[in-house]
Chains A and B, each alone.
Chain A
């Protein structure tokens, strides 16, 4: 007979049958058997696997020191040399949901084995950990436990076998907000003709690419007195000093750098390089002021149109940059601007 798959199951005090809120501060207890929902898991697993241990922990105990207790839990799990870890289902319980997510994420990261939990989409645990994990979608209470445990097991076994994981609808997990390449039975050429004809004939169709809906960014208050304002020059066009001393990336930057322009009337050709794979840099290399207009700014300061130019320019690389990285860079830039008493920024984009 093939070796049985070893499983460790994480649950809270309530499902561990120690009690509700009154027992929520209990520490970690390990039982080398299945407990509570573990019985449903075991039934769905059949002969293929066995639950070698159940780790039970009070929701308050772990919630109050999430990182530390998560580490303790994973240390224990590691000792049982599992192939697969399950946690929950946590349903609508917030602290329990976060604990399950935290344990599963740490198991995957530290032990390199798959971990599956289940909870309601509104559970804060789902929101925090869905990018890292497959979380089976449940209702807010344990009424559907039999079905939920079946789906946890099915997905866990697929992950363990390295099998293809289908869509959230097919597998019953919470949409993680990611995309990946999968094979389609029809080529994109065939699909687009089908879609166009559906649209033309007024038949229902579903776009494969949703249109983003961005909200307008509220404008900051207008500068009242430009002649006394300090302005900083910023670019996402990847202009860095020759040699790219900070080794800034050619795409998808998540940070920026500041470079001194003190004493420079203009940015000289040859002193700068463009590290950005998205546009033909020849015009900027020939005259970097076309991207970061230091020469023009000096004139406007001289003419007292602008009070001062901040003596550093800020640079990043904006190319196939994820929204998350853009936000990170932007927040860091905003901090910098606040810290340096700068009133306004001119940002050039390529």
Chain B
């Protein structure tokens, strides 16, 4: 499997009569984009722009998607979720850099989030550095929440493919090739990656080729499939607990293992694993994920990451114990959820001695966010410390992890937690 990503660096986005690429400038026909994402479950669609450095706050952003088009099979872009069901991860794929499609959810979500394009909050998220093309639809009357979310999900994926199409027949700014095959890997440790996705309820889940992971069993996929749109985030229930699709398309853990492949690591593959809510299912899931790592991928060592909050830690601990029991060395990447004002020796929910190699992807911390001049999205999000709601034009205190992209457990952020 050989994937070529053709990168186009976008520095400027303007609305125009036609959608096309002019150098590093992306021109968008706004009406055509609205038509592309239109759905009877929407009453009205606004397209907003959030520019890096601008005094702008996106309220209640949902998923964030990188504009992409699978060049040799355009209809199978985001296969299963939006495109036709064919394997991703092979051939040439357009990816626009410096720009993203951001869903703006115009329904109240119990754990809402926000995204600041400047100020202290902007420092914590990579999405303050992309020009965000915001798809902001108001729901049609009487539409159920999940129906609205389904339409919103489809809208961002359609928009991502539509915008990427503008780069067709242009010369890319950079090309990157992803292929696991390499010569002379015999002496290197065989390292697998268990990517534990978060699935809890419909619309608090992750889609693999369009299928909700809710009842999935662990499965081996080629890392290219994930980089090429096979995995789509659909978590609106625990929003910002899991990474947006953009991060899967540029999966930092997979990219790092690719970078090390042939140098100090023999990257043998990815197991996508689940977070069931029933203990028996957790045990089954851990056993099968470990079996794939040990007996199918024949790994010597494995990296385990998770999405989501508390109980997915249990799945990680079960996998860790099972792997170490079979002689596979483990390392775990985790956000420290229990840390605010807490004893720092009690930041995880498990006590297995096998989990002796863990990397902290930051901790739960609060900060004050200043008012912003411009707001995209009309939903005021809940304030965790009070019964009041957060107004984008006012200062408020909130969790850093409630910044969209402010928490990532997939290896991308430079933040770690410092015990002090």
Q: Which residues of A line the B interface, CB within 8 A?
A: 131, 165, 167-168, 173, 175-193, 195-201, 205, 207-214, 247, 249-252, 277-280, 282, 319-324
Contacts and interface: CB of A to CB of B under 8 A. Distances in A.
A178 B331 contact: no
17 contacts: A178-B339, A188-B361, A189-B410, A192-B303, A192-B331, A195-B357, A196-B302, A199-B331, A209-B348, A210-B345, A212-B346, A213-B345, A251-B384, A279-B277, A319-B310, A323-B342, A323-B343
B277 A188 contact: no
Given A193-B303, A208-B359, A212-B346, A188 B411 contact: yes
B236 to A, nearest CB: 12
Interface in B122-146: 124
A255 B204 CA distance: 28
Contacts of A251: 384
A146 B131 CA distance: 54
Contacts of B357: 195-196, 198-199, 205, 207
Contact of B414 (A167, A183, A193, A324): A183
Secondary structure at the B interface, as helix, strand, loop or mixed, is loop
Given A192-B303, A322-B341, A208 B358 contact: yes
Interface string B274-299: 00010000000000000000000000
A212 B347 contact: yes
The 9 A-B pairs at the shortest CB distance, nearest first, are namely A189-B411, A280-B201, A189-B256, A209-B358, A196-B331, A208-B360, A179-B339, A182-B418, A192-B359
Contacts of B396: none
Contacts of A186: 414
Nearest to B254: A189
A189 B412 contact: yes
Given A196-B331, A211-B352, A247 B387 contact: yes
Given A181-B363, A197-B265, A322-B341, A168 B238 contact: no
A217 B34 CA distance: 60
B363 A320 contact: no
A322 B310 CA distance: 12
A181 B339 CA distance: 10
A277 B264 contact: no
Interface of B: 110-111, 124, 189, 191, 200-201, 204, 237-238, 252-253, 255-257, 260, 264-265, 277, 300-303, 309-311, 329-334, 336-348, 350-353, 355-365, 382, 384, 387, 400, 410-420
Given A193-B256, A197-B189, A277-B238, A323 B346 contact: yes
B384 to A, nearest CB: 7
Contact of A213 (B110, B311, B351): B351
A324 B420 contact: no
B348 A212 contact: yes
B252 A187 contact: yes
